[in-house]
Amino acid sequence: MSNQTRPNVIFFFTDTQRWDCSSLHGNPLDLMPNFDRYAKGGTHLNNAISPQPLCTPCRGCIQTGMYATQTGIYTNGKALQKEHRTLAHYFNDAGYDTGYIGKWHLASEKGDKDSSGAVPEHLRGGYDYWLGANAVELVSDPYKCVVYDNDNQERILPGYRVDAMTDAAIRYIDQDHEKPFFLYFSLLEPHLQNHLGSFVAPEGYRERYTGKWIPPDLAGLPNKGHEATVGEQAHQGLGDYWGMVKHIDEALGRMMGALKSKGMEENTIIVFTSDHGSHFGTRNHGGKCSPHESSVRVPTAIWGEKFNGGGRIDEVVSLLDIPPTLLDACAIEVPEQMVGNSILPLTRGERENWQKDVLIQTYGPELGRYVRTKKWKYGFQAPDRKTWNNGMSNSYVESVLYDLENDPYEMCNLIGFESHRDLARRLKELLLARMKEAGEELPQIEDAPLRKSGQRRVDSKDFPS
Q: Each residue of 12-58: pLDDT tens digit?
A: 999 999 999 999 999 999 999 999 999 999 999 999 999 999 999 99
The answer to whether 271 touches 186, Cβ cutoff 8 Å, is no
Whether 329 and 377 map to the same domain: the answer is no
User: Which residue, of 314, 347, 380, is where some domain finishes?
Assistant: 347
Structural domain contains residue 382: yes
Q: Each residue of 117-156: pLDDT tens digit?
A: 999 999 999 999 999 999 999 999 999 999 999 999 999 9
Whether 156 and 19 map to the same domain: the answer is yes
Q: What region, left, alpha or beta, does residue 314 occupy, with left being phi > 0 and alpha being psi -120 to 50 degrees?
A: alpha
Structural domain contains residue 357: no
Structural domain contains residue 214: yes
Domain residue limits at 293: 8-347
Q: Each residue of 251-278: pLDDT tens digit?
A: 999 999 999 999 999 999 999 999 999 9
Cα dihedral sign for 321, 326, 327, 328? positive
Listing from the earlier edge strand, what are the strands of the sheet with 8-14?
154-157, 145-148, 129-133, 97-103, 181-186, 8-14, 268-274, 301-303, 43-49, 311-318
Arithmetic mean of pLDDT, 159-164: 98
- Residue 338 φ then ψ, to 5°: -75, 125
Alpha helix ranges (H) inside 201-233 = 206-209, 216-220
Q: What is the CATH number of the domain that holds 430?
A: 3.30.1120.10
Whether 205 and 108 map to the same domain: the answer is yes
Using pLDDT thresholds of 50, 70 and 90, give the confidence band for residue 287. confident
Structural domain contains residue 2: no
Residue 169 makes CB contacts below 8 A (sequence gap 6+) with: 10, 101, 183, 185, 255
Closest CA relative to residue 249, chosen from 316, 318, 163: 163
Whether 332 and 420 map to the same domain: the answer is no
Give the total number of structural domains in the chain.
2
Coil, helix or strand at residue 315: strand
Arithmetic mean of pLDDT, 330-343: 97
Structural domain contains residue 354: no
Give Cα 50 to chain centroid, integer Å.
5
Quick check: 114 pLDDT over 80? no
Whether 419 and 321 map to the same domain: the answer is no
Q: What CA–CA distance (Å, rounded) separates 189 from 284?
A: 22
pLDDT of residue 369: 98
Structural domain contains residue 333: yes
Whether 307 and 374 map to the same domain: the answer is no
User: Which residue, of 347, 382, 403, is where some domain finishes?
Assistant: 347
User: Which residue, of 347, 380, 413, is where some domain finishes?
Assistant: 347
Whether 277 and 169 map to the same domain: the answer is yes
Give Cα separations from 28 to 22, 283, 288, 363, 414 (angstroms).
Answer: 8, 24, 23, 32, 29
Q: What is the CATH number of the domain that holds 114?
A: 3.40.720.10
- Whole-number mean pLDDT of the chain? 92
Using pLDDT thresholds of 50, 70 and 90, give the confidence band for residue 112. low
The answer to whether 376 touches 403, Cβ cutoff 8 Å, is yes
CA atoms within 13 A on the CB side of 281: 21
Q: What CA–CA distance (Å, rounded) separates 132 from 122?
A: 14
Arithmetic mean of pLDDT, 155-168: 98
Rg of the Cα trace of the chain? Answer: 21
